[in-house]
Amino acid sequence: MNDLKLAIACDHGGYELKKEILAYLDKAGIAYEDFGCDSTASVNYPVYASKVCKSIQSGDCTRGILVCGTGIGMSMAANKFKGIRAACCSDTFSARMTRMHNDANVLCLGGRVVGASLALDMVKLFIETEFEGGGRHTERLALIAEIENEQ
């Protein structure tokens, strides 16, 4: 967790929640890069998913957080990127398990779905929980990568 640097972005539907998340990251001293957007003016979420995923692919950032209205569009776009395992979560159990079992490297949240307190709990779990590793989970992730490589 020491070398953790988050890439974070949102669209207009996620802007208010992203502000809450940034305030938490600042307070907690967690390193991040904010890739926009910077207001509630309408924008296209794939553009922002792309910025975050490319920064993870390049190694500039280690994990990402994407916020749109539902979290769904961001997760669809993010999962098109090689090596990205994006999870759209609305509960803390899923946010923890997707780190433990799926080694998720992007958390997608819905600013119109979850309140700030729940979202921050999920962000904390996403940051603090380590991948469990081990044979079966690693094997399943390798199978996902195999599908990715076949496309």
Shortest Cβ 3–ligand RB5 spacing (Å): 31
Among 15, 35, 45, 126, binds ligand RB5 (CB under 6 A): 45
Q: Cα(111)–Cα(103) distance, rounded to whole angstroms?
A: 23
Q: Shortest approach of ligand RB5 to residue 125 CB, angstroms?
A: 22
Tell me, yes or no, if 137 is annotated catalytic.
no
68 classed as catalytic: yes
Minimum CB–partner distance for residue 14 and ligand RB5 (Å): 6
Under rule CB under 6 A, how many of the chain's residues touch ligand RB5? 8
How many other β-carbons are positioned within 10 Å of the β-carbon of residue 138?
13
* Residue 35 near residue 8, CB atoms below 8 Å: yes
Q: Which helix (H) or strand (E) holds 2?
A: none
Q: DSSP of 65-117, one letter per residue?
A: EEEESSSHHHHHHHTTSTT--EEE-SSHHHHHHHHHTT---EEEEETTTS-HH
Tokens of 13: 């539907």
Q: For residues 11 and 105, which CB has a smaller minimum distance to ligand RB5 in the complex?
A: 11
Binding positions for ligand RB5, 56-75, rule CB under 6 A: 68-70, 72-73
The single residue of 10, 37, 53, 68 carrying the catalytic annotation is 68
Of residues 7, 8, 9, 13, which one binds ligand RB5 by CB under 6 A?
A: 13
Query: Could you tell me the end-to-end alpha-carbon distance of the chain, in angstroms, rounded to an integer?
Result: 32
- What amino acid positions are annotated as catalytic residues? 68, 101
Residues near ligand RB5 (CB under 6 A) are 11, 13, 45, 68-70, 72-73
